[in-house]
Amino acid sequence: MPVITNIDDFREIARRKIPKAVFEYVDHGSYDQLTLAANRRELQALQFRQRVMINADDRRLATTMLGENVAMPVALAPIGMCGLTRGDGEVLAARAAEAAGIRMCLSTMSICSIEDVREAISGPFWFQLYVFRDRGFSESVIERVKAAGCTALFVTVDLPMRGQRHCDLKNGVYVPPRLTLRNAYDLLTKVGWSWSVLKAKRRGFTNIQAYIDKTTGGGMMDTARWADTNFDGSLSWNDIAWIRKNWRGKLVIKGVLDPADAKIALDNGADAIVVSNHGGRQLDGAPATISALPYIADAVGNDIEVLFDGGIRSGQDVLKALSLGARGCLIGRAFVYGLMAQGGPGVAKAVDLIKEELKVSMSLTGVKDVHDVTRDVLFNPPPGGKKGRASSGRNKSRTSRRSRR
């Protein structure tokens, strides 16, 4: 058994154990992958102020995200086809998240259905919605999400059409999938993966299948084709106003990268936004999310909860995002590498690694409580917002956040 000490270890195991087409579907970004690389590079470029002789023995990570108590400010991001990276992947991840006291957000494009996840765990989970051309789908899925007791709806707005991932085209991961001799050999020789997928309860896009079965009928390939042709380039803020009318729970806009859009989201009744560039899988050349975060946090202040994702691979990364105004972080690839490498226990271990790293980094920067993280933990806080506001503005907003606890 290899000793796993960080998320990169999981990535390396996954690279060896999982078919190339599946691994690259997870690992890669769009076009030249500039934004994918920037997400990591800009996080790594931030440095901490090392503080000493501050009794930081008893660190408190518990907080709220979207008003819900969580053990730490981290949640599992929505991942399309998660259940093909490992059989029953969404159910395994949901169980691991629940055991760790954090939330998982289920993707519209999941393999396990909303109802499967509901059955698998007793606590709350969140749901991510793609608004397709066929608005009947959104209506029906929102009803199912309500029936499942989901507490938050994340509407993803950075994918009105798909950015191209070269690897997926080369590996035949499109609709219909292209199975070459090489692909087939690779799939069959990754025995652990093949077995997990073969014995899994589901292998198609079950959330969509349920709708198609009710409306037009059709098999798994029709479902994939339906989804592929139904991404809606005409998506606009009117659709958010419409969703708000149908959904009374927490509404989160996922995929905001510009302060102007963050303010519009607020005006349209959103409770929270996720600063995200879809993990570098959409607009290549867009800035790293960590670079956009302070501008957005300054623009919206405390009027809306700011969540963050993109490039988080450690607790140090989480601390950096909190310091620049995020209430909490979503992790995508970090948990999927764990899932691909070791299934449910791999997700649990990935989450635990991040938790321990966050604890240690808080101690070494002199922070006892996640609510007290400010830009002051950074040695080189980036520009953004008004001069001089970096510390006083953040402190002020943290104080009012604290008073809301």
Phi, psi dihedral angles at 324 (to 5 degrees): -100, 15
**Residue tagged active-site, from 28, 166, 278, 371:** 278
| Among the listed residues 288, 307, 312, 341, the single contact to ligand FMN using CB under 6 A | 312
The verdict on 73 binding ligand FMN (CB under 6 A) reads no
The verdict on 323 binding ligand FMN (CB under 6 A) reads no
| Among the listed residues 118, 254, 349, 375, the single contact to ligand FMN using CB under 6 A | 254
Give the count of beta carbons closer than 10 Å to the beta carbon of residue 164. 14
Site for ligand FMN in 156-185 (CB under 6 A): 156
Cα(275)–Cα(237) distance, integer angstroms: 17
- The DSSP symbol for 26 reads H
Question: CA-CA distances (angstroms) from residue 67 to 152, 247, 249, 271?
Answer: 10, 17, 11, 10
Longest dimension (CA), the chain: 67
Binding mask 268-297 for ligand FMN (x = CB under 6 A): --------x-xx-x----------------
User: CB 301 → ligand FMN: shortest distance, Å?
Assistant: 24
The verdict on 309 binding ligand FMN (CB under 6 A) reads yes
Window of 170-178, 265-273, 332-340, 362-370 that interacts with ligand FMN by CB under 6 A: 332-340
Extended strands (E) in 245-314: 250-256, 272-275, 305-308
Give the count of beta carbons closer than 10 Å to the beta carbon of residue 269. 14
Question: CA-CA distances (angstroms) from residue 60 to 81, 185, 309, 315?
Answer: 34, 49, 22, 14
Window of 233-241, 304-312, 337-345, 357-365 that interacts with ligand FMN by CB under 6 A: 304-312
| Among the listed residues 30, 35, 63, 128, the single contact to ligand FMN using CB under 6 A | 128
Strand bridging mode 63-65 / 68-70: antiparallel
The structure tokens 């606009």 sit at 236
User: CB 152 → ligand FMN: shortest distance, Å?
Assistant: 13
Binding mask 88-117 for ligand FMN (x = CB under 6 A): -------------------x-x--------
- H-helix segments, 101-214: 114-120, 135-147, 166-171, 181-189, 191-198, 206-214
Tell me which amino acid residue 218 is.
Answer: G
User: Residue 184 contacts by C-beta under 8 Å, 6 or more apart in sequence?
Assistant: none
Query: Site for ligand FMN (CB under 6 A): how many residues?
Result: 25
| Among the listed residues 73, 80, 83, 366, the single contact to ligand FMN using CB under 6 A | 80
If the CB atoms of residues 329 and 348 are measured against ligand FMN, the closer one turns out to be 329
- Are 165 and 80 in contact, with CB atoms under 8 Å apart? no
User: CB 78 → ligand FMN: shortest distance, Å?
Assistant: 4
If the CB atoms of residues 332 and 393 are measured against ligand FMN, the closer one turns out to be 332
Q: Quick check: is 166 catalytic?
A: no
- Its sign, for the CA torsion 44, 47, 51, 54, is negative
Closest CB to ligand FMN belongs to which residue?
332
Helices (H) then strands (E): counts for the chain: 18, 10
Site for ligand FMN in 13-42 (CB under 6 A): 25-26, 39
The verdict on 348 binding ligand FMN (CB under 6 A) reads no
The verdict on 328 binding ligand FMN (CB under 6 A) reads no
Cα(202)–Cα(384) distance, integer angstroms: 46
Question: CA-CA distances (angstroms) from residue 148 to 151, 212, 266?
Answer: 9, 19, 26
The verdict on 310 binding ligand FMN (CB under 6 A) reads yes
- Are 273 and 265 in contact, with CB atoms under 8 Å apart? yes
Window of 46-54, 203-211, 292-300, 328-336 that interacts with ligand FMN by CB under 6 A: 328-336
The 3-state DSSP class for residue 369 equals strand
Give the count of beta carbons closer than 10 Å to the beta carbon of residue 354. 27
The verdict on 11 binding ligand FMN (CB under 6 A) reads no
| Among the listed residues 331, 348, 351, 373, the single contact to ligand FMN using CB under 6 A | 331
The verdict on 371 binding ligand FMN (CB under 6 A) reads no
If the CB atoms of residues 334 and 390 are measured against ligand FMN, the closer one turns out to be 334
User: CB 65 → ligand FMN: shortest distance, Å?
Assistant: 15
- The residues of the shown chain that bind ligand FMN, judged by CB under 6 A, are 25-26, 39, 77-80, 107, 109, 128, 156, 254, 276, 278-279, 281, 309-312, 330-334
Catalytic (active-site) positions: 278
